[in-house]
Structure 1
């Protein structure tokens, strides 16, 4: 323990942990990034906090690897390598203490960032569960593995350019891997090899977590990488160095087939936060359980309004799956889905707004990704909501208020639709529902032919 404490004081270990802590907190608090915004604010859920921390490993992992390389060059750069080789103590004993010090304090820096995030979640009244453990655990293992690989490379290649070159190469590899797994970036096609880096794409919702197959594969891979890093650090012969490569090769061979085959398999609904809480036909997630009482009354009223439609929906459920940047929302003829993650206005909406949200689009979402705000789609769903409520009002969703104020089509189209005979109005609402179910056809033209001309 005495030697271990000495390594803690005289090695780069404290500075490595401090660098990870300061860089991460600088990103989170000094930049107004997507981690402060819907659909996945980092203060909303402890698992979301962990996912954002994994995202930041794009920049943090190169720091851990580079710091390890700096420390790994110490003996050779100070002329101590030959002297230490003559001592009776096996090299693995010295390697264990050095690797333990650097790995432990690097991991501590990573954990302290999460501890700050946990405080933010508690301070903002977010949802707390133990679902973050696999996400944080894999991140910790990756940080330790990266620092140990850096130590090994620094010991084997004690050149002044080794540490900066290794850090830059790690950064480039991390960025390329991130662009492969982040659906919002789409600069590279997905490949399983991208999951050999620890960084994840931006979280696509506050009710999601990493899939079990990804956690398992990355645990095996980073364990193999850490083992190889340590064995190379402790190796004293060429044969030992060659044998030291076996764990990382075995880890890759096991992990790659286990990894998800597409980006759709990277994230999955959180079994705790997304757990259903129901009041009859009205269901919300456990994370938004306080919305159940507010939604129950308006939700039942809205279902009663929709009941006159053929094949009318009979349930209201919160959308708990990962948010897609490129695909339209999920739909089901028997279920009205509400998205509290993306449409955070719903969390503070009054009864009238909640009722409008349920009956918009005759109980169906649009056929474009929610952030697109296509004119025909949103106009038609607004008019459908007004048909049931008798009042044309902004939809309580992304860009809803802006669209209500700035679209020149909605008011004239609503006036034309309202002037139609009741049976024609009903038939067109039924037709709109079919268009939104199949996503075939123009929604606004279905309600008011020629409205866009």
Structure 2
């Protein structure tokens, strides 16, 4: 029964449009800046570097997802579907969960498509394998889903034609300022790394062996979990919608407390790549001749 409802929502909710809003700009960026376009020496040498490069591209794709989500929320509100479904015995959170689930699923699949293209090249070039790429990929998917849900909540709360455009511009301004702030404000790097990490965008790797600290993953998990919860509350609540800001603010405060203080701590070099290598010697092997 749930599967049938999800298929119905998938056809009518516009989830495919949300996935296309992420996938199409990503494909353009792949052709323009991908390692297979200019033979990059870093992005395609290790798995973690590939995922970090994909997270870096969210500076352009995440605002699009937020804007498309706001468009979906506006369209649903203008169609007065909430009033039609209010008479059904299901609670509001259940109805909205069925609305959000197809969007989340399509975004996750859309994020895996460019990863598959890059994986085909990395698999033939990587010198070793590490599972460190899984965490930034999962957090990136959470950031996409949270952005879409937040956009849907804004569109549902403010169903006016300018909401999608304003949501897109606001999200783009946030990602650009948080990423370019150190260069924009002071030449020494003015914004702390903790503030920069409030963005879904991660820095590109300095080397093929750059990884992301666990504190960054935990902080962004809390951050985007709060953002998604706030957007979901905007979809569910019909009164006291100001309370939807509480999980967002709480997520920001907790994330700032968890994030590292220095960039070298947030983006360390994988210690498995820097350890000393030992060459095994055999006692019974013949000694080299003396000269």
Q: TM-score range by the shorter chain?
A: 0.7 to 0.9
Structure that is richer in helix per residue = 2
The match for 1:25 among 14, 18, 27 is 27
* Residues 67-105 of structure 1: per-residue CA shift (max 9 Å, x gap): 111111122222333333343322111110111111221
Closer, same or farther: CA 229–23 of 1 in aligned 2, 3 Å:
same
In structure 1, list runs of 5 or more residues that go unmatched: 281-453
User: Is 1:222 matched with 2:221?
Assistant: no
Which residue of structure 2 aligns with residue 195 of structure 1?
197
Distance 2:213 2:267 in 1: 5
* Displacement after TM superposition at 1:32 (Å): 6.3
Distance 1:102 1:116, change over 3 A: same
Q: 1:223 and 1:206 mapped to 2: Cα distance?
A: 29
Cα 1:276–1:37 change in 2 (3 A) is farther
Contact 1:195–1:259 at 8 Å: present in 2 too? yes
How much does 1:182 deviate? 8.3
The answer to whether the Cα contact below 8 Å between 2:211 and 2:268 also exists between their aligned partners in 1 is yes
Structure 2: 5+ residue stretches without partners:
281-291
Which residue matches 1:441? none
CA distance in 2, matches of 1:33, 1:120: 9
Displacement of 1:217 after TM fit?
1.0
Alignment of 1:4-23 (within 5 A): 4-23=6-25
CA shift for structure 1 position 244: 2.9
1:234 aligned residue (236, 247, 251): 236
More strand, by proportion = 1
Mean Cα displacement is larger for which, 154-163 or 82-91? 82-91
Structure 2: how far apart are the matches of 1:187 and 1:108?
A: 39
Post-superposition shift, 1:203?
Answer: 1.5
Structure with more relative contact order (C-alpha pairs < 8 Å, separation 6 or more): 2
Q: Map 1:166-315 onto structure 2 (within 5 A).
A: 166-180=167-181, 189-191=190-192, 192-238=194-240, 241-279=241-279
For the structure 1 residues 126 and 161, does the alpha-carbon distance in structure 2 shift closer, same or farther, using more than 3 Å as the test? farther
Query: Which of the two has higher C-alpha Rg?
Result: 1
Q: Are positions 1:158 and 2:159 aligned together?
A: yes
Cα distance in 2, alignment partners of residues 180 and 242 from structure 1: 29
Count of paired positions: 276
Conserved? CA contact 2:53–2:205, under 8 Å: yes
Q: CA RMSD in A?
A: 2.6
